[in-house]
Amino acid sequence: MTMRRIVILDDIERAALTHGPWSRLGADWQVDAIDRHLEGDDLVEALRDAEVIVAMRERTPLGREQIAAAGRLRLLVTTGMRNAAIDVAAAKERGIVVCGTRSLVSSAAELAWALILASARRIVESAESVRSGEWGGELGVDLAGRTLGIVGLGGIGQRVARVARAFDMDVLAWSHNLAAETAAEQGARRVDKAELFAAADIVTIHLRLSDRTVGLVGAAELAAMKDTAILVNTSRGPIVREAALLAALQAGSIGGAALDVYDTEPLPPDHPFRTGAGLLATPHIGYVTAGNFGQYFADAVENIAAWEAGEPVRVLSA
- 280-305 burial, b if ≥16 CB within 10 A, otherwise e? bbbebebbbbeebbbbbbbbbbbbbb
Task: Name the packing angle between helices 155-166 and 105-120 (round to 10°).
Answer: 40
Tell me if the bond preceding 283 is cis, omega within 30° of 0: no
Q: Check 284, 302, 308, 311 and give the catalytic one.
A: 284
- Among residues 51, 58, 221, 265, the one annotated as catalytic is 265
39 is catalytic: no
Count other Cβ atoms within 10 Å, centred on residue 221: 23
Burial letters for 91-102: b for 16+ Cβ neighbours within 10 Å, e otherwise?
A: bbeeebbbbbbe
Does the annotation mark 236 as catalytic?
Answer: yes
Q: Distance (Å, rounded) from C-alpha 72 to C-alpha 95?
A: 11
Catalytic pick from 122, 190, 236, 241? Answer: 236
Q: Which residues contact 125 (CB under 8 A, 6 or more apart)?
A: 137, 138
Residue 284 annotated among the catalytic residues of the structure: yes
Catalytic residues, which ones?
236, 265, 284
